[in-house]
Amino acid sequence: MIKTYFVDGDKGGVGKSFTARALADMLMQSERFKLPRPIGRLLVVDADESNQDVCGKGGFISERVGDCDVSILMRGIETPEQWISVGDEVFRLVQDWPEDEENRIVFSLPAGAGLAIARAGEVTEVMAALNAVHVWVIGTDYESVRQLQDRFNQFPKFYGQGFVILNMRHGTRDKFVHWNTSETRTQALANGWREIEMPVLTPFVASELSRTPLHHAALHGAVNGGKRLGMGSLIAVKTFRGITGARLAEMEQEALGEEPEQPGEPEGPAPGGFAVHPDSEDI
């Protein structure tokens, strides 16, 4: 079975690319995060032509990671025509994937993707054919909430369920006041949407990593290009992988209609931060 996570948010700067990277990292680690079924193949699609932080130079590459075959695709999506073209290419790439395996696709969408979605109903049909799972990275401002509400208004059935990611890089939970107090949130939760708080990776470490995939940094103790990570930075990366992966794994449980396993992550402090738990489960 194929499921496709569309990581969206419509605005730039909310953390879509980093969320897509963390989600792909989790999906490569089926055994570690006790996913309901092992993920055999993963296609990572970087659709942000102006900011290819997921699969651009130094980012994800096609490789085998543990028991998961990872492949990548870089194609910009700004118009309905590009959506359809990329859809055709993705269908060609996955047509030979065994139907009895659990395989996943992660799309990192560009800012403004909603304009193309709103202009052409067939775009949502392409997304639906790929078994879409909506992942909306919410910002702290009103516009981020309004844009999600626009999707609900335009395509109420298609956007019936999904996940809202609160990126704690933007601050504590109370910073999301527009979302917390909105009718959009009330509607979303009533319809079955789930909220997930994504912890902060120390900005200094995130800057060091640049586009380096988390599993590369954890395995090699270095960023792509060869620069070694300091011990503190390496511990921060490993800890972030463990806690964030456990939280995002709830999406996989929910997407398959199974109850998330509890407890799902290492013991740590309140949402939004994390403690140091060096792990030895690196891929």
Q: How far apart are CA 20 and CA 111, in angstroms?
A: 14
Q: Can you give the CATH number for the domain in which 53 is found?
A: 3.40.50.300
DSSP string, 192-211: T-EEEEEPPP-HHHHHHHTT
List the one residue out of 21, 94, 6 whose CA is nearest residue 51. Answer: 21
Q: Which amino acid is at 57?
A: K
List the one residue out of 17, 67, 22 whose CA is nearest residue 243. Answer: 22
Q: How does pLDDT run across 29-45, given as a tens digit for each residue?
A: 999 999 999 999 999 99
Query: Which letter does DSSP use for residue 18 in this model?
Result: H
Residues spanned by the domain of 147: 2-201
**Overall number of domains in the chain:** 1
3-state secondary structure of 135: strand
Angle made by CA atoms 153, 158, 164, in degrees to the nearest 5: 80
Tell me, yes or no, whether 55 lies in a domain.
yes
Q: How does pLDDT run across 106-157, given as a tens digit for each residue?
A: 999 988 777 677 666 778 888 899 999 999 999 999 999 999 999 999 888 8
Query: Which letter does DSSP use for residue 48 in this model?
Result: -
Tell me, yes or no, whether 77 lies in a domain.
yes
Taking 50 as the threshold, does the pLDDT of residue 258 lie above it?
A: yes
Q: How does pLDDT run across 124-133, given as a tens digit for each residue?
A: 888 899 999 9
Mean pLDDT of 85-97: 94
Q: What is the pLDDT of residue 257?
A: 61
Q: What is the dihedral of CA 124, 130, 135, 141, to 10 degrees?
A: -20
Give the C-alpha distances (Å, rounded to integers) separating 84 from 46, 87, 118, 158, 273.
15, 5, 14, 17, 40
Tell me, yes or no, whether 44 lies in a domain.
yes
Confidence of residue 20 (pLDDT cuts 50, 70, 90): very high
| Token pair for 10 | 């419509």
Q: For residue 260, is the peptide bond before it cis, meaning its omega torsion is within 30 degrees of 0?
A: no
Q: Do residues 75 and 82 lie in contact, with contact meaning Cβ atoms separated by under 8 Å? A: yes
Percent of the chain with pLDDT strictly greater than 90 = 67
φ, ψ (nearest 5 deg) of residue 222: -155, 160
| Token pair for 49 | 């032509």
Tell me, yes or no, whether 65 lies in a domain.
yes
